[in-house]
Structure 1
Amino acid sequence: MDTIVRFFQEGGSFMFPISIVLAIGLAIALERYWFLGAAKRTNKKAFREIEPLLASSNFDRIIQVTQNSTAPIARVIGAGITRLGVSPRREDIEYAMEEGLMETIPRLEKRTQYLGMLANISTLLGLLGTIIGLIAAFSAVANADPSEKASLLSQSISVAMNTTAFGLIAAIPLLLLHSLLNTKTAEIVDSMEMAGVKCLNTLIAKENLGPKTRHSDE
C-alpha cells in the first residue's frame, strides 16, 4: 500500500485525471456487464415462454407476453407476430423482425464504445504528464549545481515516467473490458437472430407462409 501511495504521489497532478478516467470506465463496464447479463437471462426466459406458444399458434398470447416482457428478444418476435396479423407474407414478417432487431441493438451497444475512448484518453494523459514533467525537470536541472545535474535529472525522469505507467495501467484493463463487452453483445445479437429465424421457420411450418404471387391471388 505504501508503494502504491508513493507511486501515486510521485506521478504529479496528472495522476488524478487518469484516476477519474479509470473510475468512469470501470463504472461504465460494470453497468454494461450487468445490463448485458440481465438481457441474456431475460431473453432465454422469454423465448422459453414464447416457443410453445408458437408451436400452438397462440398468437394473441404471444403478443401479450412480448408487450409485458422487457427482454430484447420480445421486441423482435413481437414485431414479427404483429406484422403477421396485417400481412401473411414471409418477407413482411422478416422485415418487421429485422426492424425490431435494429431498434434493440443500440440499447445493447450503448456506452460500450466509450471504453475504447477512455482508454485512449488515459494513455494520452499519461504521455502528456510525462512530457510536462520532463520539461519541468530539464528546467530545474538547468539551474542546478553541475555535480548534481545527473542525479537530479535521473530522479526527475523516473518521476515523470510514473504518469505514463499509470496511463497504461488504466488503459489496458479498459481495452480488455471493451473487447469483452463487444464479444458479449455480439453473442446476444447472434442469439436473437437465431431465435428470430427459429420463430420464422415455425411460422412457415405452422401457417404455410410465403410470398403471395399474382397467380395465387387470382
Structure 2
Amino acid sequence: MIPLLLLAVAALAIIVERAWTLRRVAVLPPNLGREVRAWAGTGRLDPAHIESLRATSPLGALLAAALDVRNRPREVIRERIEDTGRHLVHRMERFLNALGTIAAAGPLLGLFGTVVGMIDMFLGILDHGVGDVNQLAGGIGKALVCTATGMIVAVPALMAHRWLRGRIAGYIVDMEHEAIQLLDVLDPVQRPVARPVPQPQPVLE
C-alpha cells in the first residue's frame, strides 16, 4: 500500500504540473502569430526582438527559429521549423512517460500486494488451521484492497495521460499552421511566370 500511495502522490503532482504548463494561453498566446507575421512583413526584426519572442512560449520559440534563418531558402526554413518543433514536443511531453508508467504499474503493484497477502494468509492456515471463517474472509478482503487501490491509482493516471497527449497533439497542429503562415510571409522567392511553349513552325516545301 505504501508504494501505491507514493505513486498516487507522484501521479497527482505530474497531472497538476502538466495541466498548468500546457495551458493554451501559455503554449499558444492569442494573436501572437498574427503579430509576428506583421513584424516580418514590415521588416521590423532585430536580434533582441527575436530573443524576447523566443522566451514567450513554445509557439514563440518556433516562430523565432524560423526568423533566425528568414533570409535563407524556403527548404532551410522548413527544416529549422521541423527540428525546433521536435525539441518543443519533447519538452511538452516531459513527465508523460512517468505518468504512463504509473498507469501501467499501478494494477500490477496492487495485484502483487494481493498475492503476497494471500500467500501469507494461506501459510498461516497451513500452520494454525482454518480457525474462524469470518477472520479468513476478512483477511481475503484486506488482501483485495491492494488490487482495488492499484486500479484507483491507475485509471485516473491513464485518463490524464491520454488527455495530455491529445492536448499536445492539438497544439502541434496549431503550431504547424502558424509556422506555415509565417513561412509564406518570409518566402522571398518569386515563382517564375510560366512562359508559353513555342510551337514548331511548319516546314515550307
TM-score range (shorter-chain normalised) is: 0.7 to 0.9
TM-score normalised to structure 2 length: 0.82
Q: What's the secondary structure of 2:42's corresponding residue?
A: coil
Q: How does 1:136-215 map to 2 (within 5 A)?
A: 136-146=120-130, 148=131, 150-204=133-187, 207-208=188-189
Question: Aligned partners of 1:25 and 1:66: how far apart in 2?
Answer: 37
Please tell me whether residue 94 in structure 1 is matched to residue 78 in structure 2: yes
Instruction: Answer with 165-174 or 184-193: which moved more.
Output: 184-193
> Would the alpha carbon gap of residues 48 and 40 (structure 1) be closer, same or farther in structure 2, given more than 3 Å must change?
farther
The one-character-per-residue Cα deviations of 1:32-58 (angstroms, maximum 9, x if unpaired) are 11111166455435324313223x332
Question: Aligned partners of 2:117 and 2:99: how far apart in 1?
Answer: 27
Please tell me whether residue 16 in structure 1 is matched to residue 14 in structure 2: no
Cα drift, residue 202 of structure 1: 2.3
Structure number with larger C-alpha Rg: 2
Query: Could you say which residue in structure 1 is the equivalent of 2:195?
Result: none
Cα drift, residue 136 of structure 1: 1.1
After the TM superposition, which segments of 4 or more aligned residues of structure 1 sit over 6 Å from their partners? none
Q: What's the secondary structure of 2:95's corresponding residue?
A: coil
Cα drift, residue 98 of structure 1: 1.3
The one-character-per-residue Cα deviations of 1:18-72 (angstroms, maximum 9, x if unpaired) are 0110100110111111111166455435324313223x332515x5443113211
8 Å CA contact retained: 1:40, 1:188: no
Cα drift, residue 149 of structure 1: 5.2
Structure 1 gap segments, 5+ residues each: 1-14, 212-218
8 Å CA contact retained: 2:8, 2:153: yes
Identity score, percent: 26
Question: Aligned partners of 1:154 and 1:19: how far apart in 2?
Answer: 25
- Two-structure CA RMSD over aligned residues (Å): 2.2
Structure 2 gap segments, 5+ residues each: 193-205
TM-score normalised to structure 1 length: 0.78
Q: Among 107, 110, 127, which residue is 1:123 paired with?
A: 107
Query: Could you say which residue in structure 2 is the equivalent of 1:105?
Result: 89
Higher helix share: 1
Question: Aligned partners of 2:79 and 2:37: how far apart in 1?
Answer: 20
Cα drift, residue 79 of structure 1: 1.8
Q: How does 1:21-40 map to 2 (within 5 A)?
A: 21-37=7-23, 40=26
Instruction: Answer with 89-98 or 66-75: which moved more.
Output: 66-75
> Would the alpha carbon gap of residues 176 and 187 (structure 1) be closer, same or farther in structure 2, given more than 3 Å must change?
same
Instruction: Answer with 171-180 or 96-105: which moved more.
Output: 96-105
Q: What's the secondary structure of 2:89's corresponding residue?
A: helix
Query: Could you say which residue in structure 2 is the equivalent of 1:60?
Result: 45
Query: Could you say which residue in structure 2 is the equivalent of 1:78?
Result: 64
* Alignment coverage as a number of residue pairs: 190
